Amino acid sequence: MTDGTASPGGTPALRLTVLVGEQDAWHHKPLYAEIVHRAREAGLAGASVFRGIEGFGATSLIHTQRLLSLSEELPVAIVVVDTEERIRSFLPQLDELLADGGTVTLEPCERITYPRTGGTAPGEGGRG
Name the class of domain 12-111.
Answer: alpha beta
pLDDT confidence tier of residue 128, bands split at 50, 70 and 90: very low
**Which alpha helices (H) appear in the chain, and where do they start and end?**
31-41, 84-97
> Does the pLDDT of residue 31 top 90, yes or no?
yes
Q: Which own/partner contact pairs does 21-28 have at CB distance under 8 Å and 24+ positions apart?
A: 21/57, 21/63, 21/73, 21/74, 21/75, 21/76, 22/51, 22/72, 22/73, 22/74, 22/75, 22/76, 23/72, 23/73, 24/76, 24/100, 24/101, 24/102, 26/97
Residues with Cβ within 8 Å of 100's Cβ and at least 6 positions away in sequence, in order, are: 24
Q: What is the pLDDT of residues 83-102, one digit of tens each?
A: 999 999 999 999 999 999 99
Question: Which one of 34-38, 51-55, 122-126 scores highest in mean pLDDT?
Answer: 34-38
Q: Edge-to-edge strands of the sheet including 11-21?
A: 47-51, 75-82, 11-21, 103-111
pLDDT confidence tier of residue 120, bands split at 50, 70 and 90: low
